[in-house]
């Protein structure tokens, strides 16, 4: 309180890029949801196990939903912006233009989605090396991580993509770059999906052993040699160009990004449970398990000391909560499988029509 009156609220914008859509939300300084909007994004499947998206389409969707959620607001009260997204691979050239990640040469499709499984041969060869970095991903690297995808690009699209590529971004980091012009990467993405160590940095021997010595030679500038903890403020904040695109004020603070599941994990692990009568009240955060459900499901827990479990990703130091080790496990496409079951039911078309009509009627009455 000041002068007998309550201070005006500050607001924060969060943008979440999932597998099939982009969501934006505005929350106030107490964490109360003020506004929400969602926009679908395009996906391509040119052949079996190849899943692609467009970084330009994703950014355009971010702009649509953000403009919707801040419509009618006092923009001077917006204090910050944060992104989370799927850990898909974005490829850009020296001028930050999209490069094709496909045999068709379609540069619009410059994103290899997280769920893409084209690099099966590459990940088998990586795992056969038994390199020490693999102990930090449960002993066996997933085909959905970035190293095998990068190796696939080098071996299959050398002239049309690999030789021209200057920037390989995890999608969350692409979005924060797009907003600020800062090419720094988040610890969250690099540690969890790229074999980076928060304590030791990149391991030259790993990249040389798997045939990607290119990154060592240029001091990792293509994949990230400026690394920041999640939530760190990026540069001078939102650039004039990005501010115009998003409908937000120039210069508002933009945070280093998070992977989408990890943003959810942070919210659960760090939730204030005082006075709710929950069993975890009064217990350390290391006693909590976050279960994040979307297209896939992910179980996440943190510890003060590293815990190595075969088949469980991690331990990842400071990737989600500063100073803590993260372990995560789960199942890919569990949510997608539920969708498949529901949509395949004979009653689905009728229920979908009723739900659509109910949504339309509610929006008209409002």
Query: Is residue 155 in some structural domain?
Result: yes
Tell me if 132 is assigned to some domain.
yes
Residue 136 has pLDDT above 90, yes or no: yes
pLDDT at 103 over 60: yes
Give the per-residue pLDDT at 7: 62
What pLDDT is stored for residue 360 in this prediction? 56
What phi and psi values does residue 213 have, to the nearest 5 degrees?
A: -65, -15
pLDDT for residue 331: 77
Rounded to whole angstroms, how far apart are CA atoms 100 and 91? 8
Confidence of residue 366 (pLDDT cuts 50, 70, 90): very low
Examine residue 73 and state whether it is found in any structural domain, yes or no.
yes
Return the DSSP state at 7: P
Q: What share of the chain is helix, strand, coil (3-state, %, to 5)?
A: 35, 25, 45
Banded pLDDT at 34 (limits 50, 70, 90):
very high
pLDDT for the residue 364: 44
Question: Looking at residue 213, which CATH number applies to its domain?
Answer: 3.30.420.40
- Whether 358 shows a pLDDT value over 90: the answer reads no
| pLDDT value of residue 333 | 75
Alpha carbon dihedral 115, 118, 120, 122, in 10-degree steps, equals: -120
Q: How confident is the model at residue 1 (pLDDT cuts 50, 70, 90)?
A: very low
**Has residue 276 got a pLDDT over 90?**
no
- Bigger pLDDT: 333 or 57? 57
Which residues are 14's β-sheet partners? 25, 82
Q: Please, which pLDDT band fits residue 184 given cuts at 50, 70 and 90?
A: very high
To the nearest whole number, what is the mean pLDDT of the chain? Answer: 93
Which tens digits make up the pLDDT trace of 48-91?
999 999 999 999 999 999 999 999 999 999 999 999 999 999 99
299 domain residue, yes or no: no
Is 281 a domain residue? no
Average pLDDT over residues 151-173: 98
pLDDT of residue 334: 81
Q: What is the pLDDT of residues 279-289, one digit of tens each?
A: 778 888 999 99
What number is the average pLDDT over the span 305-329?
A: 96
DSSP 8: P
Over residues 184-199, the mean pLDDT reads: 97
Question: What percent of the chain has pLDDT above 70?
Answer: 96
Nearest to 16 by CA among 360, 245, 267: 267
Alpha carbon separation from 274 to 109, 263, 265, 277, 288 (Å, rounded): 47, 21, 18, 8, 14
Q: Give the tokens for residue 112.
A: 């290899």
The answer to whether residue 325 sits within a structural domain is: no
Number of domains in the chain: 1
- Mean pLDDT for the stretch of residues 129-145: 97
Q: How many CB atoms lie within 10 A of CB 351?
A: 11
Give the residue numbers spanning the domain of 189: 11-262
pLDDT in tens, 208-236: 999 999 999 999 999 999 999 999 999 99
Q: What is the pLDDT of residues 287-311, one digit of tens each?
A: 999 999 888 889 999 999 999 999 9
In this predicted structure, the answer to whether residue 38 has a pLDDT above a threshold of 80 is: yes
In which band, very low, low, confident or very high, does the pLDDT at 109 lie, cut at 50, 70 and 90? very high
What pLDDT does residue 2 have? 36
| CA atoms of 238 and 253, how far apart (whole Å) | 7
CB-based burial of residue 307 (10 Å sphere; 0-12 exposed, 13-18 middle, 19+ buried)?
A: middle
Q: For residue 351, is it within any domain?
A: no
290 in a domain, yes or no? no
Q: How confident is the model at residue 4 (pLDDT cuts 50, 70, 90)?
A: very low
Summarize the confidence of residues 8-37 as an average pLDDT.
94
Residue 197 has pLDDT above 50, yes or no: yes
**Which helix or strand (DSSP H or E) is residue 132 part of?**
none
């Amino acid at each position: 309180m000041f002068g007998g009156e309550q201070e005006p609220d500050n607001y924060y914008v969060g943008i979440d890029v999932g597998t099939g859509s982009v969501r934006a939300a505005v929350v106030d300084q107490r964490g109360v949801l003020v506004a929400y909007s969602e926009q679908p994004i395009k996906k391509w499947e040119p052949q079996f196990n190849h899943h692609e998206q467009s970084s330009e389409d994703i950014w355009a969707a971010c702009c649509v939903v953000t403009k919707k959620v801040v419509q009618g607001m006092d923009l001077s009260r917006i204090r910050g912006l944060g992104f989370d997204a799927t850990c898909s691979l974005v490829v850009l050239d020296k001028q930050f233009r999209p490069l094709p990640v496909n045999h068709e040469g379609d540069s619009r499709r410059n994103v290899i989605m997280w769920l893409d499984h084209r690099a099966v041969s590459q990940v088998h060869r990586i795992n056969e090396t038994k390199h020490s970095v693999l102990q930090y991903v449960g002993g066996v690297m997933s085909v959905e991580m970035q190293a095998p995808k990068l190796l696939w690009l080098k071996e299959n699209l050398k002239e049309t993509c690999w030789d021209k590529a200057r920037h390989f971004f995890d999608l969350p980091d692409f979005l924060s770059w797009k907003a600020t012009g800062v090419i720094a990467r988040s610890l969250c993405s690099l540690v969890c999906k790229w074999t980076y160590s928060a304590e030791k940095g990149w391991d030259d021997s790993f990249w040389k052993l798997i045939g990607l010595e290119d990154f060592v030679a240029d001091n990792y500038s293509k994949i990230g040699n400026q690394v920041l903890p999640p939530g760190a403020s990026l540069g001078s904040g939102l650039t004039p160009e990005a501010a115009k695109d998003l409908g937000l004020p120039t210069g508002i603070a933009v945070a280093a990004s998070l992977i989408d599941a990890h943003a959810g994990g942070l919210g659960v692990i760090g939730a204030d449970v005082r006075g709710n009568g929950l069993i975890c009240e009064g217990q350390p955060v290391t006693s909590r398990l976050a279960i994040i459900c979307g297209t896939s499901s992910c179980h996440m827990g943190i510890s003060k000391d590293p815990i190595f479990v075969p088949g469980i990703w991690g331990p990842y130091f400071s990737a989600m909560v500063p100073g803590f080790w993260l372990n995560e496990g789960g199942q890919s496409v569990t949510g997608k499988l539920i969708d498949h079951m529901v949509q395949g039911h004979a009653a689905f078309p009728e229920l979908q029509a009723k739900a659509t009509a109910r949504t339309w009627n509610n929006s008209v009455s409002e």
